[in-house]
Amino acid sequence: MKHYYIETFGCQMNVHDSEKMAGILKSEGYTAVGSAEDADILIFNTCSIRQKAEQKFFSELGRIKSLKKRRPDLKIAVAGCIAQQEGIKIIERAPHVDYVVGPQNISALKDIITSQSDSVFTDDNLAITEIELPIERRDNVRAWVNIMYGCNNFCSYCIVPYTRGRERSRASQSIINEIKDLAEKGYKEVTLLGQNVNSYKGNVDFPGLLKEINKIEEIKRIRFVTSHPKDLSDELIYAIRDLDKVCEHIHLPLQSGSSKVLALMNRKYTYADYIKKIEQLKREIPEIAITSDIIAGFPQETDEDHNDTIKALKEVEFDSIFAFKFSPRPGTKASTMDGQLPDDIKSNRLSEILELQNKITERKNNGLKGTIQEVLIEGVDEKTSNKFSGRTRTNKVVNVLFDSTIKPGDTIKVKITTARRHSLEGEIV
Ligand code: SAH
Ligand code: SF4
Ligand code: F3S
């Protein structure tokens, strides 16, 4: 029996790619183990979105060197976005690495374990949308489904278009087939994945695809990430409003409240465009939760620009955000722009953003106390282990005490009793 261990960094796309790698390994007779020590093949599925993510991986890789010395038969593969970006340079820098496999070439893993072949797989893969890989999923209530790959947007700070290649949409029929199969296996929720999910262009457009998925009976909830504001059409807003399974939540990264900075970022919308969409979303779907990403300290961002972001946070009142200090990524336009800011300015701005948002998030969650929410039970709450954990349709985590009448996969009504910043607690009603 052969064993594998996969360490995953980065976004949901990477987490799902790891499920595909696990699927390939399993179909070749491998089983998962809990540590690198016990593995025959060790895979790092890496992320290069910010420098920190990259440093974290390289220090892990350094640590594993002694393990390879002790066990020269251990195969080490580097996958994901750093693999794509660095290619052969990873092996030159760390000769204990055997293989480098970019995110468009996951299927090469099969060649790696069945035959001794090349060691670097980073070519553009035009057929990526046609490849159907076995998937070993982590969860059995919620599932991720790729609907498109790559990104064409070239936001000036972002490495993704260089690591994931050009936008390619999967045929709607293969998406539907995959989701029907998930429904048969008992899955209740699907999250459609794409770097720019609402620019999906298959035989139908994105709202059309949602309509088709909404017909699949056993699936109770449909989510999707990430949407780009420039591609948020009226039709998509109506689809969220009208399709009963499409959840009332949208992750719509703003990045900055300053239209000047948005232009430097090549985001292709102004703050006025953005707020118009937000108003429309709130008008059509009053209960909608809106979450976002913000970058603090972009090149040439002045105090005034930063204050525009602060004002935007107050105006939109996001349910929650992910905020990051701008991190120059090699090869991107923003990394060589004039007006790079020192780290202390970026840190101060980030702290201000997070402090304000924490207050807003707490206030919003407090406002849910006493309300009745529909919760899909996902599993056991890992922290307390005497509670079930699930989510509202608006994607807020809710914990409820164990009850013998419910099980993961059930949709129940919960009265919210306690609100915290990252989760809610409630009683089954
Ligand atoms: N395709 C998605 C996800 C992109 S990565 C999208 O368009 O939203 C997730 C977030 O990381 C981005 O929204 C952005 O806020 C942040 N990010 C990307 N590159 C970054 C960089 N160089 N520095 C800081 N944050 C960055
Ligand atoms: Fe990066 Fe922009 Fe594409 Fe998102 S839309 S992946 S931020 S280039
Ligand atoms: Fe990271 Fe690549 Fe995702 S850079 S955020 S793993 S697309």
Ligand 3 atom, smallest distance to 48 CA: 4
Q: Are residues 59 and 159 in the same domain?
A: no
Q: Report the candidate in 93, 103, 97, 99 with the shortest Cα–Cα distance to residue 118.
A: 99
Convert the pLDDT of each residue in 179-213 to its tens digit: 999 999 999 999 999 999 999 999 999 999 999 99
Residue 19's H or E segment, with its range, is helix 12-27
pLDDT in 10s for each residue of the chain, 429 residues: 899 999 999 999 999 999 999 999 999 999 999 999 999 999 999 999 999 999 999 999 999 999 999 999 999 999 999 999 999 999 999 999 999 999 999 999 998 888 877 899 999 998 899 889 999 999 999 999 999 999 999 999 999 999 999 999 999 999 999 999 999 999 999 999 999 999 999 999 999 999 999 999 999 999 999 999 999 999 999 999 999 999 999 999 999 999 999 999 999 999 999 999 999 999 999 999 999 999 999 999 999 999 999 999 999 999 999 999 999 999 999 999 999 999 999 999 999 999 999 999 999 999 999 999 999 999 988 888 789 999 999 999 999 998 889 999 999 999 999 999 889 999 999
CATH code where residue 360 lies:
3.80.30.20
Nearest CA to ligand 1 atom 2: 195
How far is C-alpha 176 from the geometric centre of its chain's CA atoms? 21
On whether both 336 and 288 belong to a single domain, the answer is yes
Ligand lying closest to the C-alpha of residue 331? 1
Is residue 225 lining ligand 3, measured as CB closer than 6 Å? Answer: no
For residue 24, how many C-alpha atoms fall within 13 Å in the half-sphere facing its CB?
A: 22
266 and 287 inside one domain: yes
Q: Is residue 238 within 6 Å of ligand 2 at its C-beta?
A: no
Q: Are residues 379 and 315 in the same domain?
A: no
* 69 CA → ligand 2 middle, Å: 39
Q: Is 11 in the pocket of ligand 3 (CB under 6 A)?
A: yes
Of 345, 366, 387, which residue sits at a domain end?
A: 366
Of 97, 127, 157, the domain-final residue: 127
0.85 surpassed by pTM: yes
- CATH code of the domain covering residue 391: 2.40.50.140
Pocket test for ligand 2, best of 153, 256, 269 (most atoms within 8 A of CB): 153
d(CA 320, CA 301): 23
Mark whether 149 and 225 lie in a shared domain. yes
Greatest alpha-carbon span in the chain = 62
pLDDT of residue 118: 87
Tell me the CA–centroid distance for residue 374 and ligand 3, in Å: 32
**What is the Cα–Cα distance from 378 to 403, expressed in whole angstroms?**
14
Query: Residue 133 in 3-state DSSP?
Result: coil
Q: Which residues of 68-82 are buried (b: 16+ CB within 10 A; e: fewer)?
A: beeeeebbbbbbbbb
Ligand 3 within 6 A of 14 CB?
yes
Give the distance (Å) from ligand 3 centre to CA of residue 325. 16
Question: Omega before 226 cis (within 30°)?
Answer: yes
Q: Which of 358, 353, 372, 221 is nearest to 287 (CA)?
A: 372
From 155, 164, 168, the mutation candidate for ligand 2 (largest count of ligand atoms within 8 A of CB) is 155
Residues 360 and 383 in one domain: no
Work out whether strand 411-419 and strand 424-428 pair parallel, antiparallel, or are unpaired.
Answer: antiparallel
Find out whether 158 and 329 touch, Cβ atoms under 8 Å: yes
- In the reported structure, the alpha carbon of residue 62 is separated from the centroid of ligand 3 by a whole-number distance in angstroms of 21
Q: E strands, 9-67, where? A: 30-32, 41-46
Q: What's 38's DSSP letter? A: G
Tell me the two tokens of residue 403: 């009850």
Residue 216: what are its φ and ψ, rounded to 5°?
-80, 110
Q: Which of 11, 48, 50, 158 to probe ligand 2 with, by most ligand atoms within 8 A of CB?
A: 158
Rounded Cα–Cα distance for residues 56 and 98 (Å): 20
Q: Does 408 lie in the same domain as 266?
A: no
Q: How far does the centroid of ligand 1 lie from the alpha carbon of residue 379, in Å?
A: 30
Does the Cβ of 329 fall within 6 Å of ligand 1? yes
159 lines ligand 2 (CB under 6 A): no
Question: What is the structure's pLDDT at 138?
Answer: 92
- Domain CATH number, residue 111: 3.40.50.12160
Select from 112, 127, 142 the last residue of a domain: 127
Residue 87: its H or E element: none
Give the pLDDT of residue 41.
97
Distance of CA 24 to the CA centre of its chain: 22
State which ligand 2 atom lies nearest to the alpha carbon of 159.
1
Atom of ligand 2 nearest to the CA of 196: 5
Q: In the chain, how many domains are there?
A: 3
Tokens of 288: 């909608």
| 382 and 325 part of one domain | no
> What CA–CA distance (Å, rounded) separates 163 from 149?
11
Given this model, what pLDDT does residue 258 score?
A: 98
Distance 178 CA to ligand 2 centre (A): 26
Q: For residue 34, how far is the Cα from the chain centroid? A: 23
Cβ atoms of 398 and 390 within 8 Å: the answer is yes
Q: What is the pLDDT of residue 153?
A: 97
What's the 195 CA to ligand 1 centre distance in angstroms? 10
Burial class of residue 281 in the structure, from the number of CB atoms within 10 Å of its CB (0-12 exposed, 13-18 middle, 19+ buried): buried
Q: Which domain, by its residues, includes 225?
A: 129-366
